[in-house]
């Protein structure tokens, strides 16, 4: 696997991703057999030809426990890179491992809404690409997280005039 630079990561997240209206109407999460969460995955091509996957998961018992993930899919391989992940309040605390090993303060936080971001330094030091996370106040539930995620990751609906990317249809 190659190492993505911080600039490449930022460019990939910012790449416009125009999604047919029909996909937004089909974003209903489905129960995963033998799992405690509902999930939906959608493959999308960016305007520059990069292949992305949008993965949405929500715990069936705790609706504040969710993940909304943007991955880059390498062409002609099965390699995927998690670029950004909006998480809800998972039951366990989070530790930023690189920061802990480098004696940085505030490397750990208790359950809270948080965003994982891919970083070059985590890859170079052998950690998961999206192991770094920060607490956020950008959202306070699943729907506001999804709205903010789609905005930050530059998802656009074909019929650009809609006020909300998923208003009126399907995401639950």
What pTM does this model have? 0.86
In a 3-state reduction of DSSP, which class is residue 19? strand
Nearest partner of 82 among 171, 166, 1, judged by Cα? 1
Q: Angle 160-85-105 (CA atoms, 0-180°, nearest 5)? A: 130
Q: Please give the residue that has the higher pLDDT: either 142 or 76.
A: 142
Mean pLDDT of 148-155: 95
pLDDT tens-digit readout, 11-20 = 999 999 988 7
Sign of the torsion formed by the C-alpha atoms of 85, 86, 91 and 93: positive
Strand pairing class (17-19; 94-95): unpaired
pLDDT tens-digit readout, 39-63 = 888 899 999 999 999 999 998 888 8
Query: How does residue 69 score in pLDDT terms, banded at 50, 70 and 90?
Result: very high
Q: Where are the domains of the chain?
A: 6-156
Chain center to CA of 50: 16
């Amino acid at each position: 696997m190659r190492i993505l630079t911080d600039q490449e990561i930022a460019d990939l997240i910012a790449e416009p991703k125009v999604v047919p209206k029909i996909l937004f109407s089909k974003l209903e999460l489905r129960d995963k057999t033998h799992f405690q969460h509902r999930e939906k995955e959608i493959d999308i091509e960016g305007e520059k030809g990069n292949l992305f996957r949008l993965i949405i998961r929500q715990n069936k018992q705790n609706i504040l426990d969710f993940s909304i993930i943007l991955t880059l899919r390498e062409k002609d391989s099965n390699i995927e890179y998690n670029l950004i992940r909006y998480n809800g309040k998972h039951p366990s605390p989070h530790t930023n491992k690189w920061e802990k090993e480098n004696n940085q303060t505030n490397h750990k936080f208790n359950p809270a809404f948080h965003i994982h971001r891919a970083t070059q330094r985590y890859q170079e030091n052998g950690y998961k690409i999206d192991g770094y996370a920060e607490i956020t106040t950008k959202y306070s539930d699943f729907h506001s997280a999804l709205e903010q995620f789609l905005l930050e990751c530059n998802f656009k609906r074909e019929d650009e005039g809609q006020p909300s990317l998923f208003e009126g249809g399907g995401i639950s």
